Structure 1
Amino acid sequence: MKRKKDKQTEPYKEQSRTGGIIQMLLAWFIIPLIFAVAVLLIIAKVADVDVVQKAKDLTGSIPLLEQKEQQASKKKDEKILEERITALKEEVKQKEQQLQDIQDDLRKSDEKNEKLVLEQDKLQAQIAALKRSSDQTKQEIGQLVATYEKMSAKSSAAVIAKMDEAQALQLLSQMKADTLAAVLEKMSPEDAAKYTALLAK
């Protein structure tokens, strides 16, 4: 019976021993340590010392923590660099697109200018041809006028009266004043009045 009682009290004794050890640790180490830290914090506050910054400085000088901070800083720098590179690539892409657009506009402008130059050349060629034609026509009219001036006024009047109005007007406008007067005199009064009115315009 006694043995059974001993067996039942053994776990209780072990529990009380471990409880006693914890209490002893609390009483001798942990509570005094907490008290000492509290006193030190109060002293630091009174002495105006930034305890948090000092702790950071102390932990920063620990090689393992310093290495971790360096790795974190390196990763942060790498991330910033990657973002910057991505932004620069995007900017380069935009600039290339702008350059391509400008080159397309220049090419279109060059094509338009080439067409305008060709058109200008054609127009200049047409103007030159018209000038030659005009000079030739003037020359021919001059020869006709000289021929009609050599004819008698009566014959000239009869031929001019049968001509196309525009041609007749061209001939009459190129004649000398006295020859013109003689030719108009030999025309019918209606034709003479018509050509006189046309010449006066």
Structure 2
Amino acid sequence: MEELEESKISKFQWFLVIFIPLIFAVTVALIVLTVAGVNVAEKAKDMSAKIPFITSDKKDEDRGNEARNDEKVSIKLEKLETEIVNKQKEIDKLEGIIDTRDKSIEKAEAEKQQLQMEMNQLKESQTGKDKAFKDIIRTYETMAPKKSAPIITEMNDQDALGILSSMKAATLAKVLENMSTADAARLTKKLAEQSTQEER
């Protein structure tokens, strides 16, 4: 029994004698290599890559990782391409809206210019008519009342009233004196009605 115990102790002692110095030597070697500037972790990777069964497992794992990464990248690319297509559609739609608005603005501007031109023409025409009408009034005012009265009574009432209402009061009185009583009464009544409507 004692021999058995002695052999166990001696094996344990041998283990301690070999294992402790080995650990010490490895620790000292790591410290020396680190101080010397050697990347111990990188060296350990390189050495483990040279071991055949570890290397093949690592290569399989790397291939699997690469395949997964490629799949992720392709999915991301598809998503990005879809987003690009959608954004392009939005841009096209907005450009269409802008083109439509631009055309509407151009059309409205053209219509505005056309209306402005027509308005200017009407103003010029009205100015010309006003000038011609004033010239006619001046002509009738300079005519002798004996000559102008018969001409005015031959006109339609609207034209006659236009001329008579634009004459000076003194000239109007002389022209009405030279008309027949019926014509003078009729035109005077209409002049009074016209001035009443204008005052309203």
- TM-score, with structure 1 as normaliser: 0.60
Consecutive unaligned residues of structure 1, counting only runs of 5 or more, are 1-60
Report if the CA contact (8 A) 2:161-2:190 is conserved: no
Confirm or deny that 1:168 pairs with 2:164.
no
1:145 to 130, 133, 137: 137
Report if the CA contact (8 A) 2:161-2:191 is conserved: yes
- Deviation track 1:46-103 (CA, whole Å, cap 9, x = no partner) reads xxxxxxxxxxxxxxx9433332222222222211111111111111111111111222
> Identical aligned pairs, as a percentage?
26
Find the aligned partners of 1:113 and 1:194 in 2 and give their Cα distance. 50
Partner in structure 1 of residue 184 of structure 2 = 188
Find the aligned partners of 1:96 and 1:181 in 2 and give their Cα distance. 83
User: C-alpha root-mean-square deviation of aligned residues, in Å?
Assistant: 2.4
Structure 2 counterpart of 1:164, one-letter code: N
Worse-matched range after superposition: 172-181 or 87-96: 172-181
Q: Secondary structure at the match of 1:188?
A: helix
- TM-score, with structure 2 as normaliser: 0.60
- State the 1:142 CA deviation: 0.7
Find the aligned partners of 1:93 and 1:200 in 2 and give their Cα distance. 75
1:197 to 193, 197, 200: 193
Find the aligned partners of 2:158 and 2:69 in 1 and give their Cα distance. 92
Consecutive unaligned residues of structure 2, counting only runs of 5 or more, are 1-52
- Deviation track 1:168-196 (CA, whole Å, cap 9, x = no partner) reads 33323322233234445544312210122
Report if the CA contact (8 A) 2:165-2:191 is conserved: no
- State the 1:197 CA deviation: 0.8
**Residues 156 and 199 of structure 1: CA distance in aligned 2, closer, same or farther (over 3 Å):** farther
Partner in structure 2 of residue 123 of structure 1 = 115
- State the 1:155 CA deviation: 4.0
Report if the CA contact (8 A) 2:157-2:187 is conserved: no
Confirm or deny that 1:79 pairs with 2:75.
no
Structure 1 counterpart of 2:186, one-letter code: E
Partner in structure 1 of residue 61 of structure 2 = 69
Report if the CA contact (8 A) 1:169-1:199 is conserved: no
Structure 2 counterpart of 1:81, one-letter code: V
- Deviation track 1:4-33 (CA, whole Å, cap 9, x = no partner) reads xxxxxxxxxxxxxxxxxxxxxxxxxxxxxx
The aligned length equals 141
Partner in structure 2 of residue 133 of structure 1 = 125
Structure 1 counterpart of 2:129, one-letter code: T
